[in-house]
Structure 1
Amino acid sequence: MPAALKSRAGLGDTIRQFSTPKTVRKTAFIPAKAEDNSPTPERMAKGDFEWQGKKRVKLNTVNALHMAGDIDGSAVTAAKWWICDYVFANHGYLDILNDVLPSDYVKGDVHTFAISRGNAAERIGMIRDRLGLCAHVRLEMMLARELSFSAMAEALVPAKGTQGRKVASAQCALVLEQLCDAYTQVRRDIRDRIERNKALVLGPSG
């Protein structure tokens, strides 16, 4: 076993070595090269955006008509009813969690889901029959495909040129104003049919 050191020679150097902070080599920060997040040429070619000055923005045609005073709040509400029915009927999903569910809400099953989806498809069909195919096509372009007025004009009235956007806007406003009354009548027809069927099953009330 080595003998313990009795000399303090070199102790000062050792203390200074441990007490002196080491020089930390700093690494230069090089910012990452900015990526190009601009839309792809394919995305730019889609018709659901329009140019506002030098900015390309996505437009909500219903809100644009409402802000311009071309349609009222009831037409905006009817547009929401229609797109909810359309998406549920064609794709099988519906966003109903925006509002608090009632306390007596009963969770459905696969059968009630199918019935509800069928009811939505029936309402869309009745609206189409009442307003006509031309109105249905414009509702699809405006609400389901979310096309801009300019894109709709290119498809519907290409010969109108620069005036086509105003024509498409006026047509959409007219369809939305008619949509509210159409929904009221369709729901009344469905309610009357249910009452008639109930009377056939239960018989006339005493």
Structure 2
Amino acid sequence: MTMADLTQETELLLERSRAITLHGRDKRGRAVVRIVGKYFPARALGGRAEEALRRYVSGRVLPEIGEREFVVVYVHSLVDRGENFPGVGAIRATYESLPAAAKERLRAVYFVHPGLQARLFFATFGRFLFSSGLYEKLRYMSRLEYLWEHVSKGEFEVPECARRHDDELERRPLMDYGIEATDRRCMFDAASMDTSTSLHSLRCIS
């Protein structure tokens, strides 16, 4: 298989997964990029996840946004580190590869259902991993109801995994504090990051 074939295959995987899509506008009229972590085909992409993510964003997502300001809604609900998490390194590389004008037009990143590990990780390493321009735009949304303060319900298609996780959080509120977890393998796994400086990937930030 040629490099061109591989590139086309990875783009098709991402397109069919609907992991990254544009979904209307927020309450300030800015374009909304929805990223559903559970849909991201990280296992299928293997070692090509970082390159595929960068290519897809630059070749498909940014042209669709055009010159508009935009926000990102990242839905982290029920993400499994072995199946659909591309790694912090891939996320960082994708952001850093954006043109300066696109970085400026990105106004906010709403992180839905971050979980305790994600909060701790970004609080500890976020300023070192990401430029201040991105870190300061990060907003945690522990429940969908808080997202509706920024994005109208009618403008945003909520994935089923987010609905289910939100319902579970309502029934088991201690999950927010890491006292309960849906996946015990992901509890208190703070040391499970790769590479000598822990920059490449966070194995479990659910």
Shorter chain as denominator, the TM-score bin is under 0.3
TM-score (norm 1): 0.21
Higher helix share: 1
Which structure has the greater CA radius of gyration? 1
